[in-house]
Chain A
Amino acid sequence: MNKTDDRRRTTNIALWIVISAVVTFGLVALLVNIMERKQEARNPFYRVVEITDSTDDPTIWGKNFPLQYDQYRRTVDQVRTRFGGSEAMPRTPDDADPRSVVSQSRLEEDPRLKTMWAGYAFAVDFREERGHAYMLEDQTYTERQRVTQQPGTCIHCHASVYVAYKQLGEGDIRAGFEKLNQMPYQQARQHVKHPVSCIDCHDPETMQLRVTRPAFIEGIQKVKAAQGIESYDVNQMATRQEMRSFVCGQCHVEYYFQGQEKRLVYPWTDGLQADQILGYYEKTGFQDWTHRETGAPVLKAQHPEFEMWNQGIHGRSGVACADCHMPYQRVGALKISDHHVRSPLLNVNNACQTCHRWTEKELLDRAETIQQKTFDMRGIAMDALIELISDIREANQKGIDADRIKEARSFQLKAQFLLDFIEAENSMGFHAPQEAMRVLGLSIDYSRKGQVVLSRSRKSQVSLSR
């Protein structure tokens, strides 16, 4: 054996040692990785604090459910979609309103809204809705609060109100509801601390979904009664999939304040469609305010997302609100609902593509085509309504006979409510495209009928069919 051979042998052995060391290193790394993945799959839940039926503070729930809480907090994001979403606008805080950021004003985007709501607080301040995180703050400081005295009823949907109801009603949420409704807003505001929170939708024992809003419990009872289901108890009888829409329907609905007690009622006795709701209001003679320019008794429609979803193909197919607005998401080995509630158009991958196997662009295009068409039709209906309002105003000045003015005003009420139903609904027609078009078509028809009533000569006047 010479020296060269010896050196070669040493090098060879060293090389093999390096190779087997690298292999061992890799194997151990893989082993640890597999162990970590197995650990993930164990589905850990650490109960670090006790949550009771009186815990309304989401930070406490967040200690046990950090993943969901983290997502929930992201509703502070302000992101625009083509027809909705909100944009952060800087604002100089003042004594009456300490907010330094708000969203864009809808009244500035479309000044016709001011004419439609003339004489009502919405004509003073109406901005694009921001995420859940802002619901209480934005309601507390909107200028609408300063031009009119709002009742405590409003809190029903702008705060985590379940614990407050329970305390005021000494355990009975309905009794608490009645009490809080009748307080002035500012007084009721003292009883709540947080925007919508975990306890508003979840049972603290089982984490199962539950409805906590008395107005929805009563409202859905009416809907089910019309379908022949007597004494429906939503928390006992609804399926899990239904609950994934019902908890949202607690608030994303059309409503009114009934009587002197300002009791919150969902007008669903005759059905969930816009014209059925309108019919209910006409039957009961309810009016929100008297239009300042025409003297017509009129109604304000409010965010009827639940009603419109019910008329659409997704609702019909059993797709729940949460399926698109809180789609399932994998975190480690856990499959959880995304608690960052937002427009599906900002989350097409998880929200749409789970069922619809087309590209993100194709799906966005489809949604925006529906929205653009609804938006165009909404513009036509808005113009028709503005023309009717202008005609009634003129007729008031001319002093034509009172019956015709009264009839034209009743057409204004119909046209305005139906248009506002689509305008106030936060999907620009997407939740139920054909229904949105039908309702806007009805609205245009009523506006034009109102104009015809005023323009006809007295001789040929025949009451138009409604």
Chain B
Amino acid sequence: MRTPPLGLFLFALLAGAAIGVGAYTFIYARGSSYLTDNPAACANCHIMTSYYDGWLKGSHKNAAVCNDCHTPDGIVSKYASKASNGFWHSFGFTTGRFHEPLQIKSHNQKITNAACKKCHETIVESLNFHSPSSPVSCIQCHASVGHL
């Protein structure tokens, strides 16, 4: 085998190190768990612990997991939403720049509100009969159904 030039060798070494460290970080941070629907994955970050605990004790535990209410329908939209939130949540948690108590972003709030209808549509469909353009918000009043 011909010895590669020193520069290329150094580059290969560094790139390999980057890939190795990256892979280790991914495993250490349980990166693959985020691809699943397991609610415990959301509490990998301790900031979610109290929400996870609240859900464990709540009524919706038997009917829905985090992803049922916090991600939209459809495999593409679901993973797009997970990717976007995953990035921004990690960014916020790593840098420490986020509002406390946590506040949901309006985009995510819309997803969650729409999620109620996945199961409860037949009960609530007549609610918006009078003003279909500005639908009633379920979670304005039922803020604590999923977790406190």
Q: With A14-B7, A330-B100, A354-B101 in contact, is A30–B25 under 8 Å at CB? A: yes
Contact A31 B28 (CB under 8 A): yes
A64 at the interface (CB under 8 A from B): no
Q: Complex formed: what's the CA distance from A16 to B100 in Å?
A: 40
Interface members, chain A 1-47 (any B CB < 8 Å): 9-10, 13-14, 16-17, 20-21, 23-24, 27-28, 30-31, 33-35, 37, 40-41
Residue in chain A with minimal CB distance to B16: A20
Q: Complex formed: what's the CA distance from A394 to B63 in Å?
A: 75
- CB-CB < 8 A to B49: which residues of A? 41, 333, 335
A349 at the interface (CB under 8 A from B): yes
Interface members, chain B 31-61 (any A CB < 8 Å): 45-47, 49-50
Contact A17 B28 (CB under 8 A): no
The minimal Cβ–Cβ distance linking B98 to chain A, given in whole angstroms, is: 11
Contact B11 A13 (CB under 8 A): yes
The minimal Cβ–Cβ distance linking A7 to chain B, given in whole angstroms, is: 12
Contact B22 A17 (CB under 8 A): no
- CB-CB < 8 A to A353: which residues of B? 101
Contact B101 A16 (CB under 8 A): no
Q: Complex formed: what's the CA distance from A330 to B96 in Å?
A: 13
The minimal Cβ–Cβ distance linking B136 to chain A, given in whole angstroms, is: 16
Q: Complex formed: what's the CA distance from A357 to B8 in Å?
A: 58
Contact A16 B11 (CB under 8 A): yes
The minimal Cβ–Cβ distance linking B2 to chain A, given in whole angstroms, is: 16
A59 at the interface (CB under 8 A from B): no
Residue in chain A with minimal CB distance to B45: A37
Contact A13 B45 (CB under 8 A): no
Residue in chain A with minimal CB distance to B95: A33
Q: Complex formed: what's the CA distance from A427 to B50 in Å?
A: 31
The minimal Cβ–Cβ distance linking B67 to chain A, given in whole angstroms, is: 22
Q: Which of A21, A40, A354 contacts B46 (CB 8 A)?
A: A40
- CB-CB < 8 A to B18: which residues of A? 20, 23-24, 27
Contact A21 B21 (CB under 8 A): no
Contact B47 A28 (CB under 8 A): no
| Range for the number of chain A residues in contact with chain B | 20 to 34
Q: Which of A20, A28, A41, A330 contacts B11 (CB 8 A)?
A: A20
- CB-CB < 8 A to B24: which residues of A? 31
Q: Complex formed: what's the CA distance from A210 to B133 in Å?
A: 54
Q: Complex formed: what's the CA distance from A35 to B11 in Å?
A: 27
B143 at the interface (CB under 8 A from A): yes
Q: With A14-B7, A31-B28, A357-B143 in contact, is A24–B100 under 8 Å at CB? A: no
Contact A349 B101 (CB under 8 A): yes
B106 at the interface (CB under 8 A from A): no
Contact A10 B7 (CB under 8 A): yes
Q: Complex formed: what's the CA distance from A45 to B47 in Å?
A: 19
A350 at the interface (CB under 8 A from B): yes
Q: Complex formed: what's the CA distance from A165 to B141 in Å?
A: 49
Q: Which of A14, A16, A28, A354 contacts B21 (CB 8 A)?
A: A28
The minimal Cβ–Cβ distance linking B129 to chain A, given in whole angstroms, is: 26
Residue in chain B with minimal CB distance to A350: B101
- CB-CB < 8 A to A13: which residues of B? 5, 7-8, 10-11
B29 at the interface (CB under 8 A from A): yes
Contact B21 A34 (CB under 8 A): no
Contact B7 A37 (CB under 8 A): no
- CB-CB < 8 A to A330: which residues of B? 47, 100
Residue in chain B with minimal CB distance to A21: B14
- CB-CB < 8 A to A41: which residues of B? 46, 49
Q: Complex formed: what's the CA distance from A335 to B49 in Å?
A: 10
B15 at the interface (CB under 8 A from A): yes
- CB-CB < 8 A to A33: which residues of B? 94
Interface members, chain B 71-94 (any A CB < 8 Å): 93-94
Q: Complex formed: what's the CA distance from A33 to B28 in Å?
A: 12
Q: Complex formed: what's the CA distance from A367 to B22 in Å?
A: 52
Q: Which of A17, A31, A349, A354 contacts B14 (CB 8 A)?
A: A17
Q: Complex formed: what's the CA distance from A349 to B102 in Å?
A: 11
The minimal Cβ–Cβ distance linking B126 to chain A, given in whole angstroms, is: 26
Cβ contacts A368-389/B at 8 Å (1 or 0 each) = 0000000000000000000000
Q: Complex formed: what's the CA distance from A37 to B90 in Å?
A: 11
- CB-CB < 8 A to A35: which residues of B? 28
Q: Complex formed: what's the CA distance from A410 to B47 in Å?
A: 60
Contact A333 B46 (CB under 8 A): yes
Q: Complex formed: what's the CA distance from A219 to B137 in Å?
A: 46
- CB-CB < 8 A to B29: which residues of A? 31, 34
Residue in chain A with minimal CB distance to B100: A330
- CB-CB < 8 A to B100: which residues of A? 330, 349
Q: Complex formed: what's the CA distance from A358 to B105 in Å?
A: 15
Q: Which of B7, B15, B50 contacts A335 (CB 8 A)?
A: B50
Q: Complex formed: what's the CA distance from A31 to B25 in Å?
A: 6
- CB-CB < 8 A to A40: which residues of B? 46
Write the residues of chain B forming the contact surface with A, with a CB cutoff of 8 angstroms.
Answer: 5, 7-8, 10-11, 14-15, 17-18, 21-22, 24-25, 28-29, 45-47, 49-50, 93-94, 100-101, 143
Provide 19 A-B residue pairs closer than 8 Å at the C-beta atoms, listed in order of the A residue: A13-B8, A13-B10, A14-B7, A16-B15, A17-B7, A17-B11, A20-B15, A24-B14, A24-B17, A24-B18, A30-B94, A31-B28, A35-B28, A37-B45, A37-B46, A40-B46, A41-B49, A354-B101, A357-B143
- Ordered nearest first, which 10 A-B pairs have the shortest CB separation? A13-B7, A333-B46, A41-B46, A20-B14, A24-B18, A31-B25, A27-B21, A20-B15, A23-B18, A34-B29
